[in-house]
Amino acid sequence: MRFRASVLLSCAFVLLPGSVGHTAEPEATAPIDLGSRRELFLDDHLIDRMAGTSLRMHSPALATGPGWAQEHYSTVLKEPTRFLMYTRRYRDSKVDWNTHGWDTARRNELTTLLTSSDGIRWEEPNFGLHDAREFPAGNVIIANEPLAVHNFTPFIDARPGCDAESRFKAIGGMHYQPQFKKFSSEFGPGGLYAFGSPDGIRWSRLQQEAVIPEEWGTFDSQNVAFWSTTEKRYVCYFRTFVKGFRSISSTTSEDFLHWTAPEPVTANLPHEHLYTSGAAPYFRAPHMTIALPTRFQSNRASTTDIMLMSSRTRNRFDRTFKEAFIRPGLGGSGWGNRSNYAALNIVPTSDSEISIYLAGNRRFTLRYDGFASLHAGYDEGQMVTKPLIFDGRGLDLNYSTSAAGRIRIELQDSAGVPIPGFELARSKTLIGDKIAGTAAWENKSADDLKLLAGKPIRMRFVMDDSDVFSFRFF
Protein backbone atom coordinates (compact mmCIF):
# COMPACT_ATOMS: atom_id res chain seq x y z
CA MET A 1 0.00 0.00 0.00
CA ARG A 2 1.22 3.50 -0.80
CA PHE A 3 0.52 6.60 1.25
CA ARG A 4 -0.16 10.12 0.11
CA ALA A 5 2.37 12.54 1.57
CA SER A 6 0.68 15.40 3.40
CA VAL A 7 1.87 18.97 3.45
CA LEU A 8 3.97 19.26 6.57
CA LEU A 9 4.39 22.19 8.90
CA SER A 10 8.16 22.09 9.22
CA CYS A 11 10.89 21.63 6.68
CA ALA A 12 12.67 19.47 9.25
CA PHE A 13 10.39 16.56 8.40
CA VAL A 14 11.54 14.06 5.80
CA LEU A 15 8.88 12.46 3.62
CA LEU A 16 9.42 9.00 2.25
CA PRO A 17 8.04 7.93 -1.09
CA GLY A 18 5.59 5.25 -0.06
CA SER A 19 5.51 3.28 3.14
CA VAL A 20 7.50 4.47 6.14
CA GLY A 21 7.56 1.05 7.75
CA HIS A 22 10.57 -1.09 8.52
CA THR A 23 11.60 -1.43 4.87
CA ALA A 24 13.13 2.07 5.00
CA GLU A 25 16.75 2.52 6.03
CA PRO A 26 16.66 4.79 9.08
CA GLU A 27 19.54 7.07 9.87
CA ALA A 28 21.64 6.29 12.95
CA THR A 29 20.50 8.64 15.72
CA ALA A 30 21.37 8.79 19.40
CA PRO A 31 18.27 7.65 21.32
CA ILE A 32 16.16 10.18 23.20
CA ASP A 33 15.57 9.19 26.82
CA LEU A 34 11.88 9.71 27.59
CA GLY A 35 11.86 8.10 31.01
CA SER A 36 8.18 8.06 31.93
CA ARG A 37 7.38 11.65 31.01
CA ARG A 38 4.47 12.65 28.82
CA GLU A 39 5.26 13.88 25.30
CA LEU A 40 3.05 16.25 23.31
CA PHE A 41 3.01 16.78 19.56
CA LEU A 42 3.90 20.46 19.66
CA ASP A 43 7.13 20.10 17.67
CA ASP A 44 9.09 17.59 15.60
CA HIS A 45 11.51 16.69 18.40
CA LEU A 46 10.59 12.98 18.41
CA ILE A 47 9.64 12.61 14.74
CA ASP A 48 11.92 10.96 12.20
CA ARG A 49 9.69 10.37 9.18
CA MET A 50 6.11 11.07 8.18
CA ALA A 51 3.91 10.15 5.23
CA GLY A 52 0.22 10.99 5.08
CA THR A 53 0.33 12.54 8.55
CA SER A 54 0.96 16.05 9.80
CA LEU A 55 1.05 18.10 12.97
CA ARG A 56 -2.24 19.95 13.40
CA MET A 57 -3.01 22.82 15.77
CA HIS A 58 -6.41 22.76 17.48
CA SER A 59 -8.25 25.97 18.31
CA PRO A 60 -9.67 26.37 21.83
CA ALA A 61 -13.43 26.66 22.25
CA LEU A 62 -14.97 29.74 23.84
CA ALA A 63 -16.79 28.62 26.98
CA THR A 64 -19.89 30.34 28.26
CA GLY A 65 -20.47 30.93 31.92
CA PRO A 66 -20.56 33.54 34.67
CA GLY A 67 -18.32 36.53 34.18
CA TRP A 68 -15.57 37.84 36.39
CA ALA A 69 -13.38 40.92 36.45
CA GLN A 70 -10.19 40.06 34.58
CA GLU A 71 -7.99 42.83 33.26
CA HIS A 72 -4.65 42.88 31.45
CA TYR A 73 -1.60 40.91 32.70
CA SER A 74 -3.53 38.43 34.81
CA THR A 75 -2.20 35.24 36.38
CA VAL A 76 -4.16 32.11 37.33
CA LEU A 77 -2.70 29.67 39.87
CA LYS A 78 -4.09 26.25 40.73
CA GLU A 79 -3.82 24.83 44.23
CA PRO A 80 -5.34 21.54 45.40
CA THR A 81 -8.61 23.11 46.62
CA ARG A 82 -8.73 26.56 45.03
CA PHE A 83 -7.88 28.69 42.04
CA LEU A 84 -6.35 32.14 42.42
CA MET A 85 -6.63 34.89 39.80
CA TYR A 86 -4.39 37.93 40.17
CA THR A 87 -5.40 40.83 37.98
CA ARG A 88 -4.77 44.53 37.62
CA ARG A 89 -7.51 46.96 38.67
CA TYR A 90 -7.81 50.69 39.25
CA ARG A 91 -8.75 52.98 42.13
CA ASP A 92 -10.74 55.05 39.64
CA SER A 93 -12.00 53.15 36.57
CA LYS A 94 -12.19 56.39 34.60
CA VAL A 95 -8.47 57.10 34.89
CA ASP A 96 -6.03 55.50 32.45
CA TRP A 97 -2.97 56.49 30.45
CA ASN A 98 -5.10 57.79 27.58
CA THR A 99 -7.13 60.15 29.75
CA HIS A 100 -4.63 61.26 32.41
CA GLY A 101 -1.14 60.28 31.25
CA TRP A 102 1.26 57.57 32.39
CA ASP A 103 2.26 59.10 35.71
CA THR A 104 -1.31 59.40 37.02
CA ALA A 105 -2.35 56.07 35.51
CA ARG A 106 0.41 54.16 37.28
CA ARG A 107 -0.55 55.66 40.64
CA ASN A 108 -4.12 54.53 39.96
CA GLU A 109 -3.23 50.83 39.55
CA LEU A 110 -3.86 48.06 42.08
CA THR A 111 -3.46 44.29 42.31
CA THR A 112 -6.60 42.34 43.17
CA LEU A 113 -7.19 38.66 43.90
CA LEU A 114 -10.19 36.56 42.91
CA THR A 115 -10.73 32.99 44.13
CA SER A 116 -12.65 30.01 42.81
CA SER A 117 -13.26 26.41 43.78
CA ASP A 118 -13.64 25.22 40.18
CA GLY A 119 -11.94 27.80 37.93
CA ILE A 120 -15.30 28.73 36.44
CA ARG A 121 -17.23 30.69 39.10
CA TRP A 122 -15.15 33.42 40.73
CA GLU A 123 -15.52 35.41 43.93
CA GLU A 124 -13.96 38.59 45.31
CA PRO A 125 -13.23 37.80 48.97
CA ASN A 126 -12.76 40.55 51.51
CA PHE A 127 -9.20 40.04 52.78
CA GLY A 128 -9.36 43.09 55.03
CA LEU A 129 -5.94 44.35 54.00
CA HIS A 130 -6.91 47.86 52.91
CA ASP A 131 -9.35 50.60 53.85
CA ALA A 132 -12.85 49.31 53.21
CA ARG A 133 -14.08 52.83 52.52
CA GLU A 134 -11.75 53.10 49.53
CA PHE A 135 -11.89 49.44 48.49
CA PRO A 136 -15.28 48.09 49.60
CA ALA A 137 -14.94 44.80 47.69
CA GLY A 138 -12.03 43.93 49.97
CA ASN A 139 -10.07 41.89 47.44
CA VAL A 140 -7.30 44.44 46.85
CA ILE A 141 -4.07 42.81 48.02
CA ILE A 142 -1.48 45.39 46.85
CA ALA A 143 -2.22 49.10 46.76
CA ASN A 144 1.11 50.67 47.64
CA GLU A 145 3.64 49.31 45.14
CA PRO A 146 3.33 51.55 42.05
CA LEU A 147 6.58 50.17 40.64
CA ALA A 148 5.19 46.63 40.50
CA VAL A 149 1.39 46.52 40.33
CA HIS A 150 1.23 47.33 36.60
CA ASN A 151 2.41 43.77 35.87
CA PHE A 152 2.59 41.96 39.21
CA THR A 153 2.99 38.28 38.26
CA PRO A 154 3.03 35.53 40.95
CA PHE A 155 3.86 31.83 40.83
CA ILE A 156 3.88 28.94 43.28
CA ASP A 157 7.51 28.04 43.96
CA ALA A 158 8.17 24.39 43.10
CA ARG A 159 11.78 24.45 44.29
CA PRO A 160 12.47 21.59 46.71
CA GLY A 161 13.00 22.94 50.20
CA CYS A 162 11.40 26.29 49.45
CA ASP A 163 10.91 28.46 52.54
CA ALA A 164 7.26 28.34 53.61
CA GLU A 165 7.26 32.10 54.17
CA SER A 166 7.88 32.67 50.47
CA ARG A 167 6.10 29.64 48.99
CA PHE A 168 4.51 32.13 46.62
CA LYS A 169 6.85 34.41 44.71
CA ALA A 170 6.27 37.19 42.22
CA ILE A 171 8.01 39.76 40.07
CA GLY A 172 6.84 43.13 38.90
CA GLY A 173 8.42 46.33 37.70
CA MET A 174 8.97 48.86 34.99
CA HIS A 175 11.43 50.68 32.78
CA TYR A 176 11.32 54.43 33.09
CA GLN A 177 10.47 56.19 29.87
CA PRO A 178 10.96 59.98 29.69
CA GLN A 179 7.42 60.63 30.87
CA PHE A 180 8.20 58.89 34.16
CA LYS A 181 10.90 61.27 35.41
CA LYS A 182 8.75 62.67 38.22
CA PHE A 183 7.58 59.16 39.10
CA SER A 184 11.14 57.82 39.35
CA SER A 185 12.32 60.62 41.59
CA GLU A 186 9.54 59.76 44.03
CA PHE A 187 9.57 55.95 44.00
CA GLY A 188 13.11 54.99 43.06
CA PRO A 189 14.81 53.23 40.14
CA GLY A 190 13.10 50.95 37.66
CA GLY A 191 13.74 47.27 37.04
CA LEU A 192 12.03 44.08 38.22
CA TYR A 193 11.35 43.64 41.93
CA ALA A 194 10.98 40.32 43.78
CA PHE A 195 8.16 39.56 46.23
CA GLY A 196 7.32 36.68 48.52
CA SER A 197 4.20 35.47 50.34
CA PRO A 198 3.29 32.53 52.59
CA ASP A 199 -0.33 32.36 51.38
CA GLY A 200 -0.58 34.25 48.09
CA ILE A 201 -2.48 37.06 49.84
CA ARG A 202 -0.01 38.97 52.03
CA TRP A 203 3.02 40.07 50.05
CA SER A 204 6.30 41.82 50.83
CA ARG A 205 9.48 42.59 48.94
CA LEU A 206 12.26 40.02 49.26
CA GLN A 207 14.72 42.89 49.03
CA GLN A 208 14.25 46.62 48.59
CA GLU A 209 16.32 46.93 45.43
CA ALA A 210 15.34 45.63 42.01
CA VAL A 211 16.67 42.11 41.40
CA ILE A 212 16.79 42.57 37.61
CA PRO A 213 18.21 45.98 36.66
CA GLU A 214 16.36 48.49 34.55
CA GLU A 215 18.94 48.54 31.76
CA TRP A 216 18.32 44.86 30.95
CA GLY A 217 14.84 45.25 29.54
CA THR A 218 11.72 47.26 28.79
CA PHE A 219 9.41 45.41 31.20
CA ASP A 220 6.19 47.29 30.28
CA SER A 221 4.16 44.11 29.82
CA GLN A 222 3.78 40.85 31.77
CA ASN A 223 7.18 39.48 32.75
CA VAL A 224 7.11 35.92 34.10
CA ALA A 225 9.22 33.71 36.36
CA PHE A 226 9.08 30.13 37.65
CA TRP A 227 11.19 27.34 39.08
CA SER A 228 12.41 25.14 36.22
CA THR A 229 12.50 21.46 37.14
CA THR A 230 14.76 20.75 34.14
CA GLU A 231 17.29 23.54 34.71
CA LYS A 232 16.95 23.32 38.51
CA ARG A 233 16.94 27.08 38.85
CA TYR A 234 14.58 30.01 38.47
CA VAL A 235 13.87 31.26 34.97
CA CYS A 236 12.56 34.70 34.09
CA TYR A 237 11.24 35.79 30.68
CA PHE A 238 10.92 39.53 30.23
CA ARG A 239 10.17 42.11 27.59
CA THR A 240 12.92 43.64 25.42
CA PHE A 241 13.22 45.41 22.08
CA VAL A 242 15.42 43.94 19.31
CA LYS A 243 15.89 45.93 16.09
CA GLY A 244 12.67 47.81 16.66
CA PHE A 245 10.54 44.73 17.43
CA ARG A 246 9.01 43.79 20.77
CA SER A 247 10.75 40.60 21.79
CA ILE A 248 11.65 38.34 24.72
CA SER A 249 14.83 37.72 26.70
CA SER A 250 15.56 35.32 29.55
CA THR A 251 17.73 35.09 32.63
CA THR A 252 18.20 32.49 35.39
CA SER A 253 18.84 32.50 39.12
CA GLU A 254 19.61 30.00 41.85
CA ASP A 255 18.14 32.12 44.66
CA PHE A 256 15.64 34.45 42.92
CA LEU A 257 17.71 37.46 43.91
CA HIS A 258 20.85 37.21 41.78
CA TRP A 259 20.31 36.73 38.04
CA THR A 260 22.55 35.83 35.13
CA ALA A 261 23.16 38.19 32.22
CA PRO A 262 20.13 38.24 29.89
CA GLU A 263 20.02 36.26 26.66
CA PRO A 264 17.70 36.82 23.69
CA VAL A 265 15.02 34.23 22.97
CA THR A 266 14.49 33.02 19.41
CA ALA A 267 11.01 32.16 18.20
CA ASN A 268 11.41 31.22 14.50
CA LEU A 269 9.79 34.39 13.17
CA PRO A 270 11.99 37.36 14.09
CA HIS A 271 9.91 40.08 12.41
CA GLU A 272 6.83 40.02 14.63
CA HIS A 273 6.00 41.99 17.75
CA LEU A 274 5.50 39.63 20.70
CA TYR A 275 4.03 41.85 23.38
CA THR A 276 4.04 39.23 26.13
CA SER A 277 5.55 35.76 26.45
CA GLY A 278 2.88 33.94 28.48
CA ALA A 279 5.50 31.25 29.15
CA ALA A 280 5.09 28.64 31.89
CA PRO A 281 5.71 24.90 32.40
CA TYR A 282 2.77 22.77 31.31
CA PHE A 283 1.43 20.91 34.34
CA ARG A 284 1.08 17.56 32.51
CA ALA A 285 4.57 17.76 30.99
CA PRO A 286 6.64 20.20 33.07
CA HIS A 287 9.77 19.59 31.00
CA MET A 288 8.01 21.57 28.27
CA THR A 289 7.34 25.28 28.50
CA ILE A 290 4.22 26.31 26.65
CA ALA A 291 3.85 29.98 25.77
CA LEU A 292 0.76 31.89 24.68
CA PRO A 293 2.34 35.19 23.61
CA THR A 294 0.38 38.21 22.47
CA ARG A 295 1.16 39.10 18.85
CA PHE A 296 0.90 42.86 18.36
CA GLN A 297 -0.08 44.52 15.08
CA SER A 298 1.29 48.04 15.38
CA ASN A 299 0.10 48.97 11.89
CA ARG A 300 -3.44 47.65 12.39
CA ALA A 301 -4.77 49.88 15.15
CA SER A 302 -2.68 47.96 17.72
CA THR A 303 -4.86 44.85 17.44
CA THR A 304 -3.61 41.62 18.99
CA ASP A 305 -4.10 37.87 18.91
CA ILE A 306 -2.73 34.89 20.83
CA MET A 307 -0.02 32.61 19.46
CA LEU A 308 1.15 29.12 20.48
CA MET A 309 4.83 28.34 21.12
CA SER A 310 6.67 25.59 22.96
CA SER A 311 10.17 25.14 24.28
CA ARG A 312 12.42 22.34 25.45
CA THR A 313 15.45 24.62 25.80
CA ARG A 314 15.06 27.95 27.52
CA ASN A 315 16.23 30.30 24.78
CA ARG A 316 14.56 28.68 21.79
CA PHE A 317 10.81 28.50 21.29
CA ASP A 318 9.31 26.49 18.44
CA ARG A 319 6.67 28.16 16.33
CA THR A 320 5.53 24.98 14.61
CA PHE A 321 2.24 26.74 13.97
CA LYS A 322 2.57 30.28 12.68
CA GLU A 323 -1.14 31.03 12.52
CA ALA A 324 -3.07 32.58 15.42
CA PHE A 325 -3.99 30.15 18.21
CA ILE A 326 -6.84 32.37 19.45
CA ARG A 327 -8.27 35.02 17.13
CA PRO A 328 -9.89 38.25 18.37
CA GLY A 329 -13.31 36.68 17.77
CA LEU A 330 -16.81 37.80 16.92
CA GLY A 331 -18.03 41.16 18.13
CA GLY A 332 -16.02 44.26 18.85
CA SER A 333 -14.46 43.50 22.24
CA GLY A 334 -11.49 41.56 20.90
CA TRP A 335 -10.65 43.99 18.12
CA GLY A 336 -9.67 46.99 20.21
CA ASN A 337 -6.25 48.39 21.03
CA ARG A 338 -4.31 45.66 22.89
CA SER A 339 -7.53 43.77 23.65
CA ASN A 340 -6.16 40.22 23.75
CA TYR A 341 -3.88 38.99 26.49
CA ALA A 342 -3.95 35.43 27.79
CA ALA A 343 -3.63 35.10 31.55
CA LEU A 344 -0.47 33.32 32.60
CA ASN A 345 -0.88 29.55 33.11
CA ILE A 346 -3.06 26.87 31.55
CA VAL A 347 -4.97 25.13 34.33
CA PRO A 348 -7.18 22.02 34.64
CA THR A 349 -10.87 22.74 35.26
CA SER A 350 -12.03 19.11 35.11
CA ASP A 351 -10.41 15.69 34.73
CA SER A 352 -10.34 16.14 30.96
CA GLU A 353 -10.51 19.90 30.33
CA ILE A 354 -7.97 22.70 30.54
CA SER A 355 -8.85 26.39 30.60
CA ILE A 356 -7.20 29.50 29.18
CA TYR A 357 -8.40 32.91 30.39
CA LEU A 358 -8.33 36.04 28.25
CA ALA A 359 -8.77 39.69 29.13
CA GLY A 360 -12.37 40.75 28.67
CA ASN A 361 -13.71 37.92 30.85
CA ARG A 362 -13.33 35.18 28.25
CA ARG A 363 -12.51 31.56 29.07
CA PHE A 364 -11.38 29.09 26.39
CA THR A 365 -11.18 25.33 26.79
CA LEU A 366 -9.32 22.39 25.28
CA ARG A 367 -9.08 18.71 26.12
CA TYR A 368 -5.98 17.77 28.11
CA ASP A 369 -2.88 18.16 25.90
CA GLY A 370 -5.19 19.34 23.12
CA PHE A 371 -3.05 22.15 21.71
CA ALA A 372 -1.91 20.07 18.75
CA SER A 373 -1.92 16.51 17.49
CA LEU A 374 -0.33 14.01 15.19
CA HIS A 375 -3.11 13.93 12.61
CA ALA A 376 -4.18 11.59 9.83
CA GLY A 377 -7.04 12.34 7.48
CA TYR A 378 -9.28 9.93 5.60
CA ASP A 379 -6.35 8.27 3.83
CA GLU A 380 -4.12 6.14 6.02
CA GLY A 381 -0.88 7.77 7.15
CA GLN A 382 2.18 6.86 9.15
CA MET A 383 4.83 8.36 11.41
CA VAL A 384 8.03 6.79 12.70
CA THR A 385 9.83 8.25 15.70
CA LYS A 386 13.50 8.72 16.26
CA PRO A 387 15.09 6.08 18.51
CA LEU A 388 13.71 6.36 22.04
CA ILE A 389 14.48 4.91 25.46
CA PHE A 390 11.62 4.58 27.95
CA ASP A 391 10.98 3.48 31.51
CA GLY A 392 7.83 1.57 32.37
CA ARG A 393 5.63 -1.39 31.53
CA GLY A 394 2.69 0.34 29.84
CA LEU A 395 1.96 2.89 27.13
CA ASP A 396 -0.99 5.25 27.23
CA LEU A 397 -2.14 7.64 24.55
CA ASN A 398 -4.40 10.67 24.52
CA TYR A 399 -6.24 10.16 21.25
CA SER A 400 -9.41 10.65 19.25
CA THR A 401 -10.71 8.82 16.20
CA SER A 402 -13.81 9.12 14.08
CA ALA A 403 -16.27 6.23 14.10
CA ALA A 404 -14.49 4.90 11.03
CA GLY A 405 -10.95 5.87 12.05
CA ARG A 406 -8.32 3.84 13.86
CA ILE A 407 -4.81 3.92 15.34
CA ARG A 408 -2.27 1.10 15.47
CA ILE A 409 1.26 1.10 16.85
CA GLU A 410 4.29 -1.00 15.98
CA LEU A 411 7.46 -1.11 18.08
CA GLN A 412 10.72 -1.40 16.18
CA ASP A 413 14.35 -1.69 17.15
CA SER A 414 16.64 1.28 16.53
CA ALA A 415 17.37 0.00 13.00
CA GLY A 416 13.67 0.05 12.13
CA VAL A 417 13.08 -3.71 12.28
CA PRO A 418 9.79 -4.75 13.95
CA ILE A 419 10.31 -6.28 17.38
CA PRO A 420 8.84 -9.81 17.50
CA GLY A 421 5.43 -9.76 19.12
CA PHE A 422 5.06 -5.99 18.71
CA GLU A 423 4.57 -5.96 14.93
CA LEU A 424 1.83 -3.87 13.40
CA ALA A 425 -0.25 -6.98 12.66
CA ARG A 426 -0.37 -7.75 16.41
CA SER A 427 -1.30 -4.21 17.49
CA LYS A 428 -4.78 -3.95 18.99
CA THR A 429 -6.68 -1.25 17.15
CA LEU A 430 -7.45 1.91 19.11
CA ILE A 431 -10.88 3.38 18.33
CA GLY A 432 -12.71 6.06 20.28
CA ASP A 433 -11.84 9.18 22.27
CA LYS A 434 -9.77 8.83 25.44
CA ILE A 435 -7.47 10.97 27.55
CA ALA A 436 -5.59 7.83 28.61
CA GLY A 437 -6.13 4.81 26.39
CA THR A 438 -3.68 1.93 26.80
CA ALA A 439 -1.88 0.46 23.80
CA ALA A 440 -1.74 -3.34 23.62
CA TRP A 441 -0.50 -6.15 21.40
CA GLU A 442 -1.91 -9.65 21.00
CA ASN A 443 -0.49 -12.16 23.47
CA LYS A 444 1.78 -9.54 25.06
CA SER A 445 1.67 -8.45 28.71
CA ALA A 446 3.06 -5.53 30.69
CA ASP A 447 6.01 -7.72 31.67
CA ASP A 448 6.82 -8.21 27.97
CA LEU A 449 6.83 -4.46 27.37
CA LYS A 450 8.95 -3.87 30.46
CA LEU A 451 11.65 -6.09 28.93
CA LEU A 452 12.10 -3.38 26.28
CA ALA A 453 12.59 -0.61 28.86
CA GLY A 454 16.03 0.99 28.65
CA LYS A 455 16.60 -0.32 25.14
CA PRO A 456 16.48 1.88 22.01
CA ILE A 457 13.20 1.47 20.16
CA ARG A 458 11.20 3.30 17.53
CA MET A 459 7.44 3.75 17.51
CA ARG A 460 5.54 3.47 14.24
CA PHE A 461 2.07 5.04 14.26
CA VAL A 462 -0.29 3.89 11.50
CA MET A 463 -3.58 5.78 11.58
CA ASP A 464 -6.48 7.24 9.63
CA ASP A 465 -9.13 9.87 10.45
CA SER A 466 -7.64 10.26 13.89
CA ASP A 467 -5.48 12.38 16.19
CA VAL A 468 -2.90 11.52 18.83
CA PHE A 469 -2.37 14.42 21.25
CA SER A 470 0.21 12.88 23.56
CA PHE A 471 1.67 9.61 24.81
CA ARG A 472 3.47 8.36 27.88
CA PHE A 473 5.20 5.16 28.97
CA PHE A 474 4.35 4.34 32.57
Q: What is the pLDDT of residues 363-410, one digit of tens each?
A: 999 999 999 999 999 999 999 999 999 999 999 999 999 999 999 999
Q: Which of 411, 393, 370, 355 is nearest to 472 (CA)?
A: 393
Q: What are 412-463's pLDDT values in tens digits?
A: 999 999 999 999 999 999 999 999 999 999 999 999 999 999 999 999 999 9
pTM of the entire predicted model: 0.91
Q: How confident is the model at residue 13 (pLDDT cuts 50, 70, 90)?
A: very low
Q: In terms of Cα–Cα distance, which of 289, 293, 297, 251 is closest to 271?
A: 297
Residue 99: pLDDT band with limits 50, 70, 90: confident
Q: What is the mean pLDDT of residues 317-333?
A: 90
Average pLDDT over residues 194-210: 97
Are 234 and 223 in contact by the 8 Å Cβ rule? The answer is: no
What is the pLDDT at residue 334? 86
71-80, 100-109, 398-407, range with the lowest pLDDT: 100-109
Long-range contacts, 230-233 (Cβ 8 Å, 24+)? 230/286, 230/287, 231/314
Residue 294 makes CB contacts below 8 A (sequence gap 6+) with 221, 274, 275, 276, 278, 304, 305, 306, 307, 338, 340, 341, 342
Give residue 242's pLDDT band: very low, low, confident or very high (50, 70, 90): confident
Taking 80 as the threshold, does the pLDDT of residue 29 lie above it?
no
Q: What is the band of 270 on the pLDDT scale with cuts at 50, 70, 90?
A: low
> Which domains can be identified in the chain, with CATH numbers?
14-56+373-473 (2.60.120), 61-367 (2.115.10.20)
- Higher-confidence residue of 27 and 283: namely 283
Report pLDDT for 178: 67
CA distances (Å), origin 328, targets 92, 271, 336? 27, 21, 9
**Percent of the chain scoring above 70 in pLDDT:** 92
